[in-house]
């Protein structure tokens, strides 16, 4: 039986044994638990476990604020209020555990979010899968001139093709050399019975940064939203956005729909007006025009403001 | 219906509605979920939610170490190995949420453990219960002479009685004054319709440190064990030990029995021999006696060592 | 020599011994190091140590972004950019250590900020000072009707006087009983040679929540600013605002002046427009009026928006 | 002027400007501040800033324990006591900031220690140095048979040579392709004026895991010691041990010599006897022999115990 088939069977098996629980349960999340969402060319995200839902947030807030929360008539309203006013601790009362397969260069960005629990597949103990991230042609953009950390504009067809070949060839050659040095394949097959292989912890250093790794990642909802705030943003690298987008719209939306709405309203799609920008808008609303030169904003800030509010 | 009765009904209600889940489930923990364990005179601990069990720890370890874990034949053996060798991340993959009622002076010690999520009942929003911790007579010990932070030996019966009266009278008087200043009782009854009360956030400053508060406390298993390591210890204040003891023996033992055993074996009842003490034991095992004077240990360390190993 | 005098001498002593260092140094902060700023009636804040300044933030950012930062011409501009765009890690590269004396009920709010290092004076080991927070008459406000956690409006002169007496009497009586039970005063004087005192860890439970405690508190600049964002806010309890105000305007302003300005511009005095509010402002700027009923905001949100922008 | 020379000049410059400070100062650490210690083939560690020293730990402990610490006669004794008894908060009161250059595969292990502040050189913004870790021949060990995550025994000379060539060739080829795709060298030289390069955030995915990166890493002393406990251990990968060894013996030893000694005594070179092992040693000391079969230990535990104490 192939590796893929074994995995599918395991998921089918896990999904075939419902148990009884007295805990808070999210029917919508149960419908997708264990099932992988595909991301990029070989990556995935799947929910392994969770704790709490929107009602658990409300319950925790009511423990804190006691009768103080009675005035807010419903759960959705209370969650909006908590989100708007930085009452973050109730959102920490929900927890989720994900199984994620992702390229190493993305794992390096991801791990910078420190308030999470992680168990990563160890290439000191075991042999990594022969899977590398190769971008789609349409994502092979050139370096942005205005944004030092971004991409922008496309390459020539010829260059795109050539670079994709480089990426593919180099990853494959380096993986083949990895197996050669190990003197062993991932399936356990020994390449040459008469000789010893290089230790795993050393052989792996030959692999490229687009090699896939995998981990279990467990995080509370407040910190997950902060991760999504930074990584679902257009300034994040496209490849991590792809993961954030799935977590937000396929998982969080199902798990805690009221929180999802409040998060979009007050964080993801909100606009933080600086003190100076607030003053400019105030003057504008009174009919006074303020020019860029007198605005107190720098060019970048000015452009962002006028674009967002459709003013000149 | 009284407050107590309402709570009991709510628990009965929560326990009467089993749901289906595909998540990992601990039957033994389900049998006590929501039910309070009594602690001290008015405190309690109850499990509100949990994620994972012993099998989830093993599963996470196997993700990390891949085939590297196959040699360990069973779950109990792998958990022992992880505990012994400081592989802490798999234990972080389990999470528990508790509802705890405890005196404020204990809450102040408890909160020093930073790696947890907390929602505490807010005395800015709401009125605190009229409940104070009054020790039992047998716990009214005098100040230890040898241990600056401990208690030791008993007081005279007369003093014990007198001090218990002081504690009770002062707590009650201060609470009565709290209600007077609020001009309101906890049940909402206004004391004097014609006047305004002092704000809650100020009136509460008159309360004594043995007043009970309550919170939701959520923590992962690794950090919970570290909390128990420090607070179930005989050097911890008796009153927090009482809580740690319940969490350890009533909750952790049910939830993750293999982890419970490994924790006792390698942490709770283990003995850390310093470099110097290791040398002394080594010499002893060879039949050489080393005197206190030549041991390199100070008196306290020497006493602890000789007591634990029954040597002179 | 009195306790106060001893402290003043110690500070004078510490300030009289300049040493040479090759580290980054803030001359402005050196001018106040060790000196206490008075807060409330008996509290204080003093700087004990610090690491880094505005230039260290810039230096750390340049390590991260390499040549990417060259375009920003000066330190102040780069710090503004970092603050605006949530590049928080460079601010974590500065650290400060404060010695703070504060009432226990404030310490309880303060400690909820978990990303700090704390060494608190232990009332298990030692005897607490006989000092309690008694509000000034003008701060003895009544409970707010609209804000469950706030105060608003004043009490009658008679009630104010009466309540202040209650607070004072109860704190003093409880402290006297604390000493009686300890059978010892803070200066070491034994009250009655013939009897044993109650252990310190128990006697202290009789004290009121306005008793002063003290601690060393060490935190990085990013987390300090987050603390100030929440606690310098008008919704925070007045007494913790008093501390936040000193830290912000007496310490942070001296230590990292560029960061202080950027923090005020982009956080403290900024305004977060929700998605819906952004739309309303956009329509307004085009000359379209949107009524409360059609706004999609609730009453509280509507009021806050119209008040801030002077619109109806 | 070459890159290296520029760096040396910068360090000379930084070290030539002593300033006055009233802060705690470590003369021994000042003597090496900014100077790099070489690690592996291209790595280094240098101290950029620090806060506190042994005396600051003692000072913090005395704030916590007040007169309770007076009995311990000297700083060294108090630090031993704190280390032995898990009083970790005083050690958190010291902080250090290091500049480290290290291979990416080591950076991936390092970053798992979450309680630190990090600013890493960003390969989204800037171009990485052309430097790769190539092991020395004597470190090219084969995979351990007994320890799934370790290396053990040497390869044939021929294989060693061959593998080193693979590592070198693959790293260099992949870096050359990285430059080709960027269409730019690190020094800013454009390779072909007529075409656009691939964005940096994508081109870098072609690099190998032994490519060097660099970061500023700031951590408190307690968490630094925990890092060293795990990474200076013989079970850690050799390459991270090399860094830990420098930090421990070149930096910590200079900075906080009393803490360094206590750390070796009670942690690094101590031995944690499990409950069962404690019983075995106790019986042994009484002259009773216990066989492996009756010991209750597994083979690995038994071997470790008997080896350490020279018993059979």
- Answer whether residue B125 shows pLDDT above 70: yes
Indicate the residue of D274, D278, D309 with minimum beta-carbon distance to B282.
D309
Q: Is D166 helix (H, G, I), strand (E, B) or coil?
A: helix
Phi then psi for residue D49, to 5 deg, are -165, 165
User: Could you report the per-residue pLDDT of C167-199, keeping only the tens digit for each?
Assistant: 999 999 999 999 999 999 988 899 999 889 999
**Taking CB atoms and an 8 Å cutoff, what residues of chain B touch A122?**
64-66, 68
Put simply, whether D143 touches A (Cβ < 8 Å) is yes
**Taking CB atoms and an 8 Å cutoff, what residues of chain C touch A235?**
85
Task: Give the closest-approach CA distance of A89 to chain B in angstroms.
Answer: 6
CA pair distance C230, A85, nearest whole angstrom: 10
* Closest by CA position to C253, among listed C37, C20, C85: C37
So what's the pLDDT on residue A178?
A: 98
**Taking CB atoms and an 8 Å cutoff, what residues of chain B touch C205?**
103, 105, 133, 167, 208-210
**Taking CB atoms and an 8 Å cutoff, what residues of chain B touch C153?**
196
User: Could you report the per-residue pLDDT of C89-110, keeping only the tens digit for each?
Assistant: 999 999 999 999 999 999 999 9
**Taking CB atoms and an 8 Å cutoff, what residues of chain B touch A61?**
119
Cβ atoms C246, C37 nearer than 8 A: yes
C 51-80 residues with CB below 8 A of D? 51-52, 56, 60-61, 63-69
Segment B130-155 shows an average pLDDT of 87
Mean pLDDT over all residues of chain D?
A: 93
Strands D151-154 and D141-143: antiparallel
B interface test, pick of D78, D225, D273 with most B CB neighbours within 10 Å: D273
Verify whether the Cβ–Cβ distance C265 to A275 is below 8 Å: yes
Token duo for residue A181: 């040095």
B 196-225 residues with CB below 8 A of A? 214-216, 218, 220
Strands C212-220 and C117-120: antiparallel
Cβ atoms D120, D214 nearer than 8 A: yes
- The better pLDDT of the pair B66, B266 is held by B266
Q: How many CA atoms lie within 13 A of D264 on its CB side?
A: 11
Neighbouring chains to D with at least 3 Cβ pairs closer than 8 Å: A, B, C
So what's the pLDDT on residue A73?
A: 61
Residue of A nearest to B90 (CA): A119
Put simply, whether A298 touches C (Cβ < 8 Å) is yes
Kindly tell me the burial class for residue C136, based on how many C-beta atoms sit within 10 Å of its own C-beta (0-12, 13-18, 19 or more).
Answer: exposed
Radius of gyration of chain B measured on its C-alpha atoms: 24
CA pair distance C286, D44, nearest whole angstrom: 59
Catalytic residue among D80, D204, D231, D254: D231
CA pair distance B312, B309, nearest whole angstrom: 9
CA pair distance C273, C289, nearest whole angstrom: 17
CA pair distance A130, C146, nearest whole angstrom: 62
So what's the pLDDT on residue B176?
A: 98
CA pair distance A22, B48, nearest whole angstrom: 10
So what's the pLDDT on residue D69?
A: 55
Task: Of A218-232, B61-75, D97-111, D128-142, give the lowest mean pLDDT range.
Answer: B61-75
Verify whether the Cβ–Cβ distance A202 to D150 is below 8 Å: no
Residue of C nearest to A148 (CA): C68
Instruction: Please tell me the total count of domains within chain A.
Output: 3
Residues D110 and D231 in one domain: yes
So what's the pLDDT on residue C288?
A: 92
Residue numbers of B annotated as active site: 231
Mean pLDDT by 10 residues, chain A (312 residues): 80 93 96 97 97 94 67 80 93 98 98 95 93 96 77 90 98 98 92 92 98 97 97 93 98 98 97 96 92 93 94 81
Residue in this structure with the two tokens 């009332």, named with its chain if needed: C123
Residues D62 and D86 in one domain: yes
Token duo for residue A205: 């250093």
Task: Give the closest-approach CA distance of C241 to chain A in angstroms.
Answer: 17
Put simply, whether A22 touches B (Cβ < 8 Å) is yes
Mean pLDDT over all residues of chain C?
A: 93
Phi then psi for residue D10, to 5 deg, are -65, -40
* Closest by CA position to A101, among listed A212, A5, A2, A7: A212
User: Could you report the per-residue pLDDT of B77-122, keeping only the tens digit for each?
Assistant: 999 999 999 899 999 999 999 999 999 999 999 999 999 999 999 9
So what's the pLDDT on residue C70?
A: 55
**Taking CB atoms and an 8 Å cutoff, what residues of chain D touch B281?**
281, 285, 309
**Taking CB atoms and an 8 Å cutoff, what residues of chain A touch C86?**
230
Residues A141 and A58 in one domain: no
Cα dihedral B278, B281, B286, B291, rounded to 10, equals: 120
B 238-267 residues with CB below 8 A of A? none
Segment C6-18 shows an average pLDDT of 90
Token duo for residue C74: 């000066």
Assign residue B40 the CATH number of its domain: 3.30.1360.170
Residues C75 and C195 in one domain: no
Distances (CA, A) of C207 to B105, C172, C212: 10, 9, 10
**Which ranges of B111-199 would DSSP assign to H, the alpha helix?**
157-182
Neighbouring chains to A with at least 3 Cβ pairs closer than 8 Å: B, C, D
Put simply, whether A174 touches D (Cβ < 8 Å) is yes
Task: Of B186-195, B258-267, D237-246, give the lowest mean pLDDT range.
Answer: B186-195
* Closest by CA position to C122, among listed B149, B242, B227: B149
The sign of the dihedral angle between the CA atoms of C294, C297, C298, C301 is negative
Residues B62 and B96 in one domain: yes
Q: Is C170 helix (H, G, I), strand (E, B) or coil?
A: helix
Residues C92 and C217 in one domain: yes
User: Could you report the per-residue pLDDT of B9-64, keeping only the tens digit for each?
Assistant: 989 999 999 999 999 999 999 999 999 999 999 999 999 999 999 999 999 988 77
CA pair distance A9, A15, nearest whole angstrom: 10
CA pair distance A132, A173, nearest whole angstrom: 12
Put simply, whether A141 touches C (Cβ < 8 Å) is no
- Answer whether residue B163 shows pLDDT above 90: yes
Residues D168 and D204 in one domain: yes
Catalytic residue among C231, C254, C284, C308: C231
For the range D194-197, what are the long-range contacts, defined as Cβ-Cβ under 8 Å and sequence gap of 24 or more?
A: D195/A155, D195/A156, D195/A159, D196/A142, D196/A143, D196/A153, D196/A155, D196/A156, D196/A159, D197/A142, D197/A143
Residue of A nearest to D108 (CA): A108
Task: Give ∠ CA D252-D256-D258 in degrees, rounded to 5.
Answer: 120
CA pair distance D256, C11, nearest whole angstrom: 24
Residues B54 and B195 in one domain: no
**Taking CB atoms and an 8 Å cutoff, what residues of chain D touch B276?**
265
Put simply, whether C301 touches A (Cβ < 8 Å) is yes
Residue in this structure with the two tokens 């002077």, named with its chain if needed: C310
So what's the pLDDT on residue C7?
A: 84
So what's the pLDDT on residue D71?
A: 54
- Answer whether residue C46 shows pLDDT above 80: yes
Put simply, whether C273 touches D (Cβ < 8 Å) is no
Neighbouring chains to C with at least 3 Cβ pairs closer than 8 Å: A, B, D
Put simply, whether A38 touches D (Cβ < 8 Å) is no
Residues C7 and C128 in one domain: yes
Residue where a domain stops, chosen among C209, C228, C254:
C209
Determine what percent of chain B is predicted with pLDDT higher than 90: 81
DSSP state of D257: H
CA pair distance D25, C272, nearest whole angstrom: 43
Residue of C nearest to A66 (CA): C148
Verify whether the Cβ–Cβ distance C281 to A311 is below 8 Å: no
Active site residue D173: no
Q: What's the complex ipTM?
A: 0.94
Cβ atoms A260, A252 nearer than 8 A: yes
Range of the domain at C168: 134-209
Verify whether the Cβ–Cβ distance C218 to D20 is below 8 Å: no
Residues C42 and C119 in one domain: yes
Residues D163 and D222 in one domain: no
Residues B10 and B39 in one domain: yes
């Amino acid at each position: 039986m192939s590796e893929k088939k074994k995995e599918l069977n395991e998921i089918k098996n896990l999904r075939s044994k419902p148990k009884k629980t007295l805990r808070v349960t999210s029917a919508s999340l149960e419908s997708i638990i264990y099932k992988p969402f595909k991301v990029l060319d070989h990556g995935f995200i799947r929910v392994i476990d969770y704790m709490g839902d929107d009602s658990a947030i409300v319950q925790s807030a009511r423990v804190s604020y006691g009768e103080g929360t009675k005035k807010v008539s419903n759960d959705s309203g209370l969650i909006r209020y908590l989100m708007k006013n930085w009452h973050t601790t109730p959102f920490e009362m929900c927890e989720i555990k994900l199984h994620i397969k992702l390229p190493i260069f993305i794992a390096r960005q991801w791990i910078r979010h420190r308030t999470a629990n992680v168990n990563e597949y160890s290439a000191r103990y075991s042999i990594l899968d022969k899977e590398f991230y190769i971008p789609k042609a349409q994502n092979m953009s050139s370096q942005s001139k205005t944004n030092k950390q971004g991409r922008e504009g496309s390459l020539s067809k010829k260059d795109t093709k050539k670079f994709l070949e480089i990426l593919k060839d180099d990853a494959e050659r380096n993986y083949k050399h990895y197996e050669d040095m190990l003197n062993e394949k991932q399936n356990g097959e020994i390449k040459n019975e008469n000789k010893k292989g290089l230790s795993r912890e050393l052989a792996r250093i030959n692999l490229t940064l687009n090699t896939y790794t995998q981990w279990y990642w467990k995080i509370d909802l407040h910190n997950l939203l902060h991760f999504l705030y930074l990584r679902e943003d257009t300034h994040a690298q496209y490849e991590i956005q792809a993961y954030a987008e799935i977590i937000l719209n396929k998982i969080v939306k199902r798990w805690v729909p009221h929180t999802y709405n409040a998060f979009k309203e007050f964080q993801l799609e909100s606009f933080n007006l600086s003190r100076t920008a607030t003053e400019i808008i105030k003057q504008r609303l009174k009919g006074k025009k303020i020019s860029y030169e007198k605005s107190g904003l720098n060019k970048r800030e000015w452009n962002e403001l006028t674009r967002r509010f459709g003013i000149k």
